[in-house]
A and B are shown apart, each in its own frame.
Chain A
Amino acid sequence: MKLLFNIAWTHVSSRVRQTLVGMAGVSMGVGFTIMMAGLMQGSQIDFLRQLVDTMPHITVEDERRSVPTQPAEQEYAAVQMSDIANVGKRTGIRYSESVMSSLRSWIPGDVAPSAKTTAIVNHGGARIGITLSGIDPRREVQVSKLATQMREGKIDDLSRAPNGIIMGEALAEKLGVKTGNTVLLVGGQGVQLNSTVAGLYRSGLKRVDESQIYSLMGPAQVMMGQGGVINQLRLRLNDPMLAQKVAAQVEAQTGYKSVSWQEANADLLSSFTVRDFIVLTVMGAMLLTSSFATYNIISTITHEKRQDIAIMKSLGMREYAVRRIFIIEAAIIGLVGILFGWILGYLLCYGWSKITIFNPLTGATVPLQIYYSLAHYVIVGGISLVCCAGAAYFPARKATCVHPVEIIRGAS
């Protein structure tokens, strides 16, 4: 092996310029791929963090995933029922306090009640459909980041203002209202309620900021036309990634539909998958392209060294040993290139993290989010090394397959 390495090293070290070009190609590929991976994952994690922070991790609704079977259907196989009117069915989660107490005993997080309904907010000439969530401010801080998202006022101000509401800055801007102004809320039952804007928040998600209003439980239940009803439980977990598993357990326990944040945003997450696929394809292409430089160098060396290959074979060196020389050459180029690529990648990530961009929605100037991960370096380096070895294998194989007599005769 030492002999093969010596020969390989002699070949690459006697072609400094070509070798450096090859190494630069690998470095560029590795460096930019690491930067892209860091940028892609950083932006994705940042977006998910915003999403997870803004939403409850699990929402328990007062509905079932499927219509429950009727007693007669359970008793007689021949009976099939449909279009059943739920006469007298009371909306809301039954025994919500008991359910919450039970959930608190085992879920790794906390739970808060809410009364959720839809309404129209009427101000001046504007009529905008919104979602009104009645909350308990004391418990809400345990399950959402609303307190930290407040831009004007506090959650506790809901209790101080008459029929106080908190709305998103984007909605307030649409309506042209400020803290302290009064707007008219119109419920589905025709209930009308003059509400005072007690505060403004900014979640960072446009669809939330333009359509979600918070109030105390009372006003929301009035708008629903059903006093005392709790129709939604909002859970926040210590580890958001457990949401799907916990949601399934909650649903099994309570029978109510429990939706994890992943399920609620399944379309968004699937778009991430597509995005990941596209970016990974581009990164793979970059690494593959960078290995072309190695292919060129090894092709050139094997072409120039045809006579040496013939001599080594004629002396009795085995074909695969001769082939291995060129694989080692590619590995030398690849390893040094990867090392510099890692440094380049880190510097690029560092440089990009200093670039700030203005988010028109949040109104803040934030740096590009870069995710630093050792895995990026290891995976990209590994793939690049395989690409380099592959790029060397084919010209080396072709060159070492040549019969030594053909070359010796040609040289003579």
Chain B
Amino acid sequence: MTEVALQAVELVRRIEGAVSHTLVNGIDLAVNKGEFVAITGPSGSGKSSLLYLLGLLDAPSEGEVMICGQPTSKLSETDRADVRLTKCGFVFQFHFLLPEFTSLDNVLLPMRAAGRMAEAEMRERGLALLSSLGLGEHASKRPNQLSGGQRQRVAIARALANRPEIIVADEPTGALDTASTEQVFSILRDIADQGQTVVVVTHDPALAARADRRIHIVDGKIAEITERGGGELVCEAAS
């Protein structure tokens, strides 16, 4: 039986104000362990909002997000931070590395925050991660000494630092050239192939097509789910 890594149940995110606005409108979704899911949709459709909810960066107005079977709606902000630190890894459109820190220090940041490993062990893992992403010789460089693609790979290494169950990426190739885009997407694909769950928001249909499943969002609702089975894409409209 396939293990569910991430599940959204009747997920709603509403912005209350003079004019209320619903960003995510009743989404049900289950992502299996080791699955690579791409979320697509037009601008303003709610795909990033859904991703932030799935990654516990934001709290739903209604519904539930379950991470590895654990409900999260009743968790305190501190507990949510702990879940983010240990079970989720984030990659954003912009690298968002700390500019005064070296690549290695940026990768070490989540590990140091978690404080579960000895310093030597952390450094060893940090260097191994950077090397595996082709950045071994850039470990002591600061973000401003790296190219856009290299920075994004450092950000991926940082996301992987604490061996999270789930990697959520918000348009990770949005600011990259074609070559870097291909490189970053291949890395994410490899991560999923190694058993970690990857959820990516992207505008690029070609890249989305390489995911195990593509979820198309329109107006905060799932409009279409496309699955890749045996090399064939199977489309079905959401009910």
**A316 cross-chain contacts in B, Cβ below 8 A:** 81-86, 88, 110, 113-114
**A408 cross-chain contacts in B, Cβ below 8 A:** 57, 92, 96, 170
Q: Which residue of B lies closest to A311 (CB)?
A: B96
Report yes or no: B57 in contact with A405, Cβ–Cβ below 8 A: yes
A residues 311-339 touching B (CB-CB < 8 Å): 311-319, 321
B residues 66-97 touching A (CB-CB < 8 Å): 77-78, 81-86, 88, 90, 92-94, 96
| Bound-state Cα–Cα, A314 to B90, Å | 8
**B170 cross-chain contacts in A, Cβ below 8 A:** 408, 412
Taking a contact as CB atoms closer than 8 A, the residue among B48, B77, B101, B112 that contacts A2 in the complex is B112
Taking a contact as CB atoms closer than 8 A, the residue among B88, B100, B114 that contacts A14 in the complex is B100
Report yes or no: B101 in contact with A10, Cβ–Cβ below 8 A: yes
A404 is an interface residue with CB less than 8 A from chain B: yes
B185 is an interface residue with CB less than 8 A from chain A: no
B182 is an interface residue with CB less than 8 A from chain A: no
Chain A at the B interface: mostly helix, strand, loop or mixed?
helix
Q: Which residue of A lies closest to B109 (CB)?
A: A315
Q: Which residue of A lies closest to B85 (CB)?
A: A316
Chain B at the A interface: mostly helix, strand, loop or mixed?
helix
**A307 cross-chain contacts in B, Cβ below 8 A:** 96
Assuming the A-B contacts A313-B81, A314-B57, A405-B58, are A10 and B100 also in contact, with contact meaning beta carbons closer than 8 angstroms in the complex?
Answer: yes
Chain A positions 377 through 412: 1 when the CB is less than 8 Å from some CB of chain B, otherwise 0: 000000000000000000000000001110011011
Chain A positions 1 through 28: 1 when the CB is less than 8 Å from some CB of chain B, otherwise 0: 0110011001100100000000000000
**A10 cross-chain contacts in B, Cβ below 8 A:** 98, 100-101
**A318 cross-chain contacts in B, Cβ below 8 A:** 78, 81-82
Question: Min CB distance, B57 to chain A, in Å?
Answer: 5
Report yes or no: B112 in contact with A3, Cβ–Cβ below 8 A: yes
Taking a contact as CB atoms closer than 8 A, the residue among A6, A308, A315 that contacts B90 in the complex is A315
**A308 cross-chain contacts in B, Cβ below 8 A:** 98
Report yes or no: B57 in contact with A319, Cβ–Cβ below 8 A: no
Report yes or no: A317 in contact with B81, Cβ–Cβ below 8 A: yes
Report yes or no: A404 in contact with B57, Cβ–Cβ below 8 A: yes
Taking a contact as CB atoms closer than 8 A, the residue among A7, A405, A409 that contacts B98 in the complex is A7
Question: Min CB distance, A15 to chain B, in Å?
Answer: 10
Q: Please, could you name 7 A-B residue pairs with CB atoms under 8 Å apart, sorted by A?
A: A3-B109, A307-B96, A311-B96, A315-B110, A318-B82, A319-B78, A411-B96
Q: A314-B84, A316-B85 given. 13 additional CB < 8 A pairs?
A: A7-B98, A10-B100, A14-B100, A310-B96, A311-B98, A315-B110, A316-B81, A316-B82, A316-B88, A317-B113, A405-B52, A412-B48, A412-B94
